[in-house]
A and B are shown apart, each in its own frame.
Chain A
Amino acid sequence: MEESIFQYEFIIRGLLGSTFASITAGLAGTYIVSKRMVFLSGGISHASFGGIGIGYFTGINPVLGAAIFSILSALGVEFLSVKQKIREDSAIGILWAFGMAIGIIFIYLTPGYTPNLMSYLFGSILTVTSADIIALGLMSAILILYFGIFYRTILYISFDEVFARTYSPYVNVFKYITTSLIALTIVLNIRMAGVVLVISLLTIPPNIAMIFTKSYFNIVIWSVVAGFIGTAAGYAISFFAGIPTGATIIFTLVIIWLIAKVSDQIINKAKQENKRDI
């Protein structure tokens, strides 16, 4: 009896978590992959570890600390590269490691045992709470509304910023809002995949989708589908095999990507040979 309740809870949590993770990661991921912001996003996710460390040390919710750090690091990269003329990739490299360093120092200084550290670094099912799921659900709703209402505005600014400035005075406003929402998406997905692996959760699904479609809207839809399959399967496998969630999800997604890539190439080759025969 106890076991069945536990399994029921596990299934619900897994399905909801996978759904919300794939929606948020699909929407944010398509944006960062299209705009070539993957390295920046990797920097944001690692820098957020500083907020987790300070959260532990001060007793503030580590996710809140991570959220603040992620947004600050995103704006920090912008500040360093645009205003201080430091190369953007260098600025990212500096903040990436700085956030990690702060996190490690403060976790070291925190008295007592810190049981969730590994779960923040690599993700874990056991520590995904109902509050985490609700937060991801809210984030899904916010992102769907934001990208739904402002779809063309966001698409065109991201495609051609110079041209967008000729008709819209709000280019910077949209850029900052979008970047902040992406930083928050990364932080909320850290519970699923961990600081180190979360960036793959955002980048692999759009890359699976881009094998089959070239239009932005379709990439979003297929990323969410591919992300859901990979996340749900990875979640289940990690539970039954007793291995870390984040790593299993990423592993599953990469396998899906490989299968898609190889089968696409085989199909293309077959098509070309057919043409030759005719």
Chain B
Amino acid sequence: MAESLFEMRSLSASYGKDVVLQDVDFRVNESDFIGVIGPNGGGKTTLLKVILGLVKPFKGTLYFNKEILTSNKIGYLPQISTGDINYPVTVKDVVLSGLMINKGLISMMSQADRKKADQVIEELGLAELTGSPLNQLSGGQLQRVFLGRAIIGDPRLLLLDEPGNFVDANFEVDFYDKLKILNKSMAILMVSHDVGTISAHIKTFACVNRYLHYHPSSEITDEQLLAYNCPIQLITHGEVAHTVLKKH
């Protein structure tokens, strides 16, 4: 039995007066690869923010397994819109920023940090772009840069918020292959409204629409979505490996 990384018990969270998550029971174990699906505004991103400590739940508990998952062991790939890609930072600068959580207030980067960044950049196939500003990169390259920032600290839990938004069909396959490799050393929680794309890669899924329903298999069917009151669009792509999607 894999060790649990964190567990939510009847957790509720809100934005202002709107209750976005209600009575959520959710447990994530080592080596999980969970797709978090649900409609827009259903609370998917809020779920990630609660885990990151950006949103405080008003009810319930969130228990972290401190032996494995200290706060600097969570990697986060936000939606692309959070950073200004015209900002004068280089690829290496951005990847290095993933180490800030290990730093105190005075945040100098050591030689070892820089070496680690070079290694991550190399692994992600960005070696030639190390010194480039972000606005010279394609969508897929940007996605890899932000993935680099998320994984440089060797997290035990990786949170991905709508990685499909980066839209770069050529890299998509590589990207999910990379995630599969990463999943050997970290649990992955991937938020998406595009079930068709993610269903081929995840192991299990959770449907979030104010309530959270966990489904311990990667097979997503209409009946389940209906039963979970999870009205999402099923977008099928050309080659969906092993998941049959019915009409919606």
Q: Return the CB mask of B128-155 against A: 1 if under 8 Å, else 0.
A: 0001110000000000000001000000
Contacts A34-B88, A155-B89, A156-B100 hold; do A163 and B78 have CB atoms under 8 A apart? yes
Once A and B bind, how many residue pairs between them come within 8 Å at the CB atom?
A: 74
Q: Is B108 an interface residue (CB 8 A)?
A: yes
Q: Is B96 an interface residue (CB 8 A)?
A: yes
Q: Is A153 an interface residue (CB 8 A)?
A: yes
Of B16-24, B79-87, B114-122, B171-179, the stretch lying at the interface with chain A is B79-87
Q: Is B107 an interface residue (CB 8 A)?
A: yes
Q: Is B211 an interface residue (CB 8 A)?
A: no
A170 to B100, CA, bound (A): 12
Q: Which of A161, A162, A166, A215 has the most CB of B within 10 A?
A: A166
Q: Return the CB mask of B84-103 against A: 1 if under 8 Å, else 0.
A: 10011110011011001101
A153 pairs with B88, CB closer than 8 A = no
Q: Is B52 an interface residue (CB 8 A)?
A: yes
Q: Is B169 an interface residue (CB 8 A)?
A: no
Q: Return the CB mask of A133-167 against B: 1 if under 8 Å, else 0.
A: 00000000000000001111101101111111111
B87 pairs with A152, CB closer than 8 A = no
Q: Is A214 an interface residue (CB 8 A)?
A: yes
A153 to B100, CA, bound (A): 8
A214 pairs with B100, CB closer than 8 A = no
Chain B residues, Cβ within 8 Å of A162:
78, 82-83
Pick the contact of B83 from A151, A159, A216 — CB < 8 Å?
A: A159
* Nearest-CB residue, chain B, relative to A168: B100
B90 pairs with A215, CB closer than 8 A = yes
Pick the contact of B87 from A149, A159, A167 — CB < 8 Å?
A: A159
A216 pairs with B88, CB closer than 8 A = yes
A168 to B99, CA, bound (A): 12
A160 pairs with B83, CB closer than 8 A = yes
Q: Is B105 an interface residue (CB 8 A)?
A: yes
B107 pairs with A170, CB closer than 8 A = no
A145 to B103, CA, bound (A): 19
A169 to B132, CA, bound (A): 29
Report the interface size class on chain B. 20 to 34
A167 to B131, CA, bound (A): 24
A152 pairs with B52, CB closer than 8 A = no
A152 pairs with B108, CB closer than 8 A = yes
B97 pairs with A152, CB closer than 8 A = yes
A215 pairs with B89, CB closer than 8 A = yes
A149 to B105, CA, bound (A): 9
B97 pairs with A163, CB closer than 8 A = yes
Contacts A163-B76, A166-B52, A167-B100 hold; do A152 and B88 have CB atoms under 8 A apart? no
B100 pairs with A152, CB closer than 8 A = yes
Pick the contact of A166 from B76, B87, B96, B131 — CB < 8 Å?
A: B76
Q: Which of A149, A150, A158, A162 has the most CB of B within 10 A?
A: A162
Contacts A162-B82, A163-B97, A165-B54 hold; do A34 and B108 have CB atoms under 8 A apart? no
A203 to B76, CA, bound (A): 34
Minimal beta-carbon separation of A38 from chain B (angstroms): 14
A203 to B53, CA, bound (A): 37
Minimal beta-carbon separation of B48 from chain A (angstroms): 10
* Nearest-CB residue, chain A, relative to B89: A159
Chain B residues, Cβ within 8 Å of A165:
54
A12 to B132, CA, bound (A): 41
Chain B residues, Cβ within 8 Å of A168:
100
Chain B residues, Cβ within 8 Å of A36:
84
B78 pairs with A156, CB closer than 8 A = no
Q: Is B106 an interface residue (CB 8 A)?
A: yes
A152 to B132, CA, bound (A): 18
A164 to B107, CA, bound (A): 13
Minimal beta-carbon separation of A216 from chain B (angstroms): 5
Q: Is B226 an interface residue (CB 8 A)?
A: no
Q: Is A74 an interface residue (CB 8 A)?
A: no
Minimal beta-carbon separation of A210 from chain B (angstroms): 7
B105 pairs with A170, CB closer than 8 A = yes
A152 to B97, CA, bound (A): 8
Q: Return the CB mask of A192-233 against B: 1 if under 8 Å, else 0.
A: 000000000000000000100011100100000000000000
24 A-B pairs (CB sep. < 8 Å): A149-B106, A151-B107, A152-B97, A153-B105, A156-B100, A158-B87, A159-B94, A160-B97, A162-B83, A163-B82, A163-B149, A166-B52, A166-B76, A166-B101, A167-B100, A167-B101, A170-B105, A210-B88, A214-B88, A214-B133, A215-B131, A216-B88, A216-B93, A219-B88
Q: Interface on A for B, CB 8 Å cutoff?
A: 34-36, 149-153, 155-156, 158-168, 170, 210, 214-216, 219
Q: Interface on B for A, CB 8 Å cutoff?
A: 52-54, 72, 74, 76, 78, 82-84, 87-90, 93-94, 96-97, 100-101, 103, 105-109, 131-133, 149
